[in-house]
Amino acid sequence: MKLDILAVGSHPDDVELSCSATLAKEISRGKKVGILDLTRGELGTRGTAEIREKEAADAAKILGVSMRENLEFSDGFFTNNVAHQLEIIKVLRRYKPELVLCNAIDDRHIDHGKGAKLVADACFLSGLRKIETIFNGNSQHAWRPKNVFHYIQWKNLTPDVVVDVTGFMDKKMESVKAYRSQFWDEESKEPETPISSSNFFDSITYRARDLGRLVNVEYAEGFNVNRHVAVDSLFDLI
Ligand SMILES: [Zn+2]
């Protein structure tokens, strides 16, 4: 299967919180989208790896993605090294995404910045044909995504690119709510965390609304890039 977009998160729920409205919009236009989780989020204060696996599968169904896989790297401790890069390269060469969306370059959780660099490095290395990888007994061809976008998550980073996601926030919130163990739930007996407050839950909508306000649409999601974004004509931006 070939993908148009592969969205990668260090933890299950990173993608839903940060760029799922963008994904839902592209899926509605017929694009093929997949999600790759680097860890099972086993160090998360609330829930368990098993619960989060089920929640991630529910969220994937809600968004209508074509695949979701988990590389089971060690939550909190994975590093940007050859072994981890090769695992991601194998996925990139299998699904050949045109675009990769991945974690924020700088964020509160240490795995986010780490995951951002690891995935961006793997996207570059995947294009080098002398790096040999094998999948199902077959050697894989080199593949480099055309661009890598870093979605914005916890911190209010200044975006380089903003996507109008008006009309897709309901789908986004439905996918976020699939993570019942993680977010605001008045009945929950689990310990409170920075992401379990009602303010955090509301912030997903009000931050998208505020970003939308700045670009004159109702809701928006923002991204950072490592490379300048180019357009054919400035008129493409009006
Ligand atoms: Zn995370």
Q: What is the extent of the structural domain holding 176?
A: 5-230
Locus of tokens 């070939």: 2
Locus of tokens 């870093």: 150
**77 Cα to the center of ligand 1, angstroms:** 13
Q: Global pTM?
A: 0.95
User: For the domain that residue 41 is a member of, what is the CATH number?
Assistant: 3.40.50.10320
Q: Which residues contact 14 (CB under 8 A, 6 or more apart)?
A: 37, 103, 112, 115, 151, 153
- 237: in domain: no
Token pair of 116, please? 């951002």
| Nearby residues for ligand 1 (ion, Cβ within 5 Å) | 11, 14, 109
**132 Cα to the center of ligand 1, angstroms:** 30
CB 2 within 8 A of CB 32: yes
3: helix, strand or coil: coil
**113 Cα to the center of ligand 1, angstroms:** 10
- 236: in domain: no
33: helix, strand or coil: strand
Whole-angstrom distance, CA of residue 38 vs CA of residue 9: 6
Locus of tokens 């089920």: 54
Token pair of 227, please? 């490379």
Whole-angstrom distance, CA of residue 177 vs CA of residue 12: 13
Structurally, the chain folds into a number of domains equal to 1
- 26: in domain: yes
- 84: in domain: yes
- 187: in domain: yes
Locus of tokens 């072994």: 83
- 52: in domain: yes
Left if phi > 0, otherwise alpha if psi is -120 to 50, otherwise beta: which for 6? Answer: beta
The per-residue pLDDT string of the chain (238 residues; one tens digit each, 9 = 90 and over) reads: 999 999 999 999 999 999 999 999 999 999 999 999 999 999 988 888 899 999 999 999 999 999 999 999 999 999 999 999 999 999 999 999 999 999 999 999 999 999 999 999 999 999 999 999 999 999 999 999 999 999 999 999 999 999 999 999 999 999 999 998 888 777 777 888 878 888 999 999 999 999 999 999 999 999 999 999 999 999 998 8
- 91: in domain: yes
- 89: in domain: yes
Whole-angstrom distance, CA of residue 210 vs CA of residue 82: 40
**219 Cα to the center of ligand 1, angstroms:** 22
